[in-house]
Copies of this chain bind each other. A is one copy, B any other.
Amino acid sequence: MGVTKSEIFTKEQNDLSRIAKVLGHPARIAILQHLIKINACVCGELVKEIGLAQPTISQHLRELKGIGLIQGTVSGTSVCYCINKEQWKETAQLMALFFSSFSPSEKCCDKDSKC
């Protein structure tokens, strides 16, 4: 049915997967990496930098804005985008917390272990 059953999951699971989903496209990773590399604002250069049409970039920017990872400031006819420091930190911590929740133990799917 193409529709995710969000209601049967916890807020944490939905929050984390929402962030991951937005990061789940190479163009959006590329946009973030470019904003980081330039270390300041970028306007329409992203369209040239990434090889996608302007409406497509605009759409990806909106999704990144949707989870707060970037922010845009209007400056004349152009818009400056940059990383949102606070949200970046929060998101990084959320991810780090998730990955650190697993600590390897010996008994797992080994040949003699019973399930």
- A residues adjacent to B (C-beta < 8 A): 4-6, 8-10, 13-14, 16-18, 20-30, 32-33, 36, 39-43, 50-52, 71-73, 75, 78, 80-83, 85, 88-89, 91-92, 95-96, 98-102, 104-105, 107-109, 113, 115
B99 adjacent to A91 (CB under 8 Å): yes
Contact residues in B for A73 (Cβ distance below 8 Å): 109
B24 adjacent to A17 (CB under 8 Å): yes
Contact residues in B for A91 (Cβ distance below 8 Å): 99
Copies of this chain, tallied across the complex: 2
Contact residues in B for A81 (Cβ distance below 8 Å): 109
26 contacts between A and B (CB under 8 A): A5-B27, A5-B52, A14-B26, A16-B29, A17-B24, A17-B25, A20-B21, A20-B23, A22-B24, A23-B24, A40-B107, A41-B108, A41-B109, A41-B113, A43-B115, A71-B109, A75-B115, A78-B115, A80-B109, A83-B102, A85-B108, A89-B104, A91-B99, A95-B95, A96-B96, A96-B99
